[in-house]
C-alpha cells in the first residue's frame, strides 16, 4: 500500500497487543480512535497513543469522543467532567456569552487531550435538537435553532483548533429528526428536501469550512429511500454539493446496527458512496482485517485533504489555564462541571 488505508481503527484495551501492533503496521490505518476501555490514567494513556503511532511509523491522528456530558471517554479523577452541551448553552444569557463559554470549554478540553497525545476530537455535534430528538442525542446538541447550534458548534471547533486539536463536525447531514438510536436500528427521516434544506442542513452549511466531518447512519427518504447517508452516493453528493463540505468525510462507526451486511460490506459501501474514511471502533481484530481489506487505500484526493487537515494541528496557541477556568466559571455562574 503506497499511502494510508482508508480506515480509522480502535484497539481492544489499555495497551497495544502484539497482534494488533503487527496488523496496524501492515494495514497502515489513517488514524486511531479511543474509548473508555482504552483509558486508565494519564501516563498509561500517553503510552498507548505513543505506541499506536509507533506501530504505523508516523504521526497518525488519534481520535476520541470528548464532547462532555454522557459522551466523554476521559473522566474524573484525572480529567474534568463537563455538562452536556445543551445544558451549558442553557446556562448562558445570550449568544455572545454562550460562544465565549463554549470556546473556553473546548480550549480546556484540547489541553487535556494534547497532554496525552490525542489530537482529534469527534465534536461538535451540529444536529438541531427537537422535542422528539432521541434521548441518546438530544442533550449532546447545542440548541433547537440554527443560530444557537452554529454559535455553539463554531465556538467549540475554534476552541479545539486553538489548542491544536482537530474538530470533527457531526452527524452530516443532520441527526436531529431521528426518533431511534442508530447504534441499534436504522432511523428514517421523511421530511421534504425544502424543509431539510431550511433547517437540518443549515448548521452544517454554516460549518462547511471545518476540516473533518462524520456522516449519519440515517435514511433520508426524499433523497434516497433505501440507503443511509453513510452509504448513499446521492446523500454524499448532497453533503458535498448542496451543503458544501469539502473536507475529510468519515463514516460513523461501522459497528453500529443501523447498517446491514458484514463489516467488510459496510466498509466497501461507505467508500463507494464517497466517504474518504471509514470508522471502525470496537477493536475486534478479525473485523478490522475485513474492514481494511474492503476499504483499501485512501484516494489521492482524500490523502491531500487529510494532509491539509493534519497541518492544522500546528495552530496551538498558549493558554493561561487558571484565567480560562476563572472566566468560564464567571460566564456560567459557577456551574461549569457535571457532578459525580
Domain ranges of the chain: 35-245+297-331
Residue 316 has a pLDDT of 82
The single residue of 65, 127, 252, 253 carrying the catalytic annotation is 252
C-alpha of 232 from chain center: 20
Q: Which residues of the chain have pLDDT under 70?
A: 1-2, 339-340
Cα-trace Rg, the chain:
19
Biggest alpha carbon–alpha carbon distance for the chain: 54
CATH of domain 35-245+297-331: 3.20.20.300
284 is catalytic: no
Q: What is the pLDDT of residue 30?
A: 98
**Distance between CA 127 and CA 137 in Å, rounded?**
9
Kindly state the helix (H) or strand (E) to which residue 169 belongs, with its residue range: strand 166-172
Q: Which residues pair with 82 in a beta bridge?
A: 337
- For 156, half-sphere exposure in the C-beta direction (CA atoms, 13 angstrom radius) is 29
Q: How many CB atoms lie within 10 A of CB 261?
A: 12
Return d(Cα 12, Cα 40) in angstroms, integer: 13
Q: What is the pLDDT of residue 339?
A: 64
Options 132, 183, 209, 333, the catalytic residue = 183
Looking at residue 269, what is its pLDDT?
A: 97
Q: Which residues contact 270 (CB under 8 A, 6 or more apart)?
A: 215, 230, 231, 251, 254, 278, 295
Give the global pTM.
Answer: 0.95
Q: CA 314: distance to chain centroid?
A: 19
Active site residue 183: yes
Amino acid at each position: 500500500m503506497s499511502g494510508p488505508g482508508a480506515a480509522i481503527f480502535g484497539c481492544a484495551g489499555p495497551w497495544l497487543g502484539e497482534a494488533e501492533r503487527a496488523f496496524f503496521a501492515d494495514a497502515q490505518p489513517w488514524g486511531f480512535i479511543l474509548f473508555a476501555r482504552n483509558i486508565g490514567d494519564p501516563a498509561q494513556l500517553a503510552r498507548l497513543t505513543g505506541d499506536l503511532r509507533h506501530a504505523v511509523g508516523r504521526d497518525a491522528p488519534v481520535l476520541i469522543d470528548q464532547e462532555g456530558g454522557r459522551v466523554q471517554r476521559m473522566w474524573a479523577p484525572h480529567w474534568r467532567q463537563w455538562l452536556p452541551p445543551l445544558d451549558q448553552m442553557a446556562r448562558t444569557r445570550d449568544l455572545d456569552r454562550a460562544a465565549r463559554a463554549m470556546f473556553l470549554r473546548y480550549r480546556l478540553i484540547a489541553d487535556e487531550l494534547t497532554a496525552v497525545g490525542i489530537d482529534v476530537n469527534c465534536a461538535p455535534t451540529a444536529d438541531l435538537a427537537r422535542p422528539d430528538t432521541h434521548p441518546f442525542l438530544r442533550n449532546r446538541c447545542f440548541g433547537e435553532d440554527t443560530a444557537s447550534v452554529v454559535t455553539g458548534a463554531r465556538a467549540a471547533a475554534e476552541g479545539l483548533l486553538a489548542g491544536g486539536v482537530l474538530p470533527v463536525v457531526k452527524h452530516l447531514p443532520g441527526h436531529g429528526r431521528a426518533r431511534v438510536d442508530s447504534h441499534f436500528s436504522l432511523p428514517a427521516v421523511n421530511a421534504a428536501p425544502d424543509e431539510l434544506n431550511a433547517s437540518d442542513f443549515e448548521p452544517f452549511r454554516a460549518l462547511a469550512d471545518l476540516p473533518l466531518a462524520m456522516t449519519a447512519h440515517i435514511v433520508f427518504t426524499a433523497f434516497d429511500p433505501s440507503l443511509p447517508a453513510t452509504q448513499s452516493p446521492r446523500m454524499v453528493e448532497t453533503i458535498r454539493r448542496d451543503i458544501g463540505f469539502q473536507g475529510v468525510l468519515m463514516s460513523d462507526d461501522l459497528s453500529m446496527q443501523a447498517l446491514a451486511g458484514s463489516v467488510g460490506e459496510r466498509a466497501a459501501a461507505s467508500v463507494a458512496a464517497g466517504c474518504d474514511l471509514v470508522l471502525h471502533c470496537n477493536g475486534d481484530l478479525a473485523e478490522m482485517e475485513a474492514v481494511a481489506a474492503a476499504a483499501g487505500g485512501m484516494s489521492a484526493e482524500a490523502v491531500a485533504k487529510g494532509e491539509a487537515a493534519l497541518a492544522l494541528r500546528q495552530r496551538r496557541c498558549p493558554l493561561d489555564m487558571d484565567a480560562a477556568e476563572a472566566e468560564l466559571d464567571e460566564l456560567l455562574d459557577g456551574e461549569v462541571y457535571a457532578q459525580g
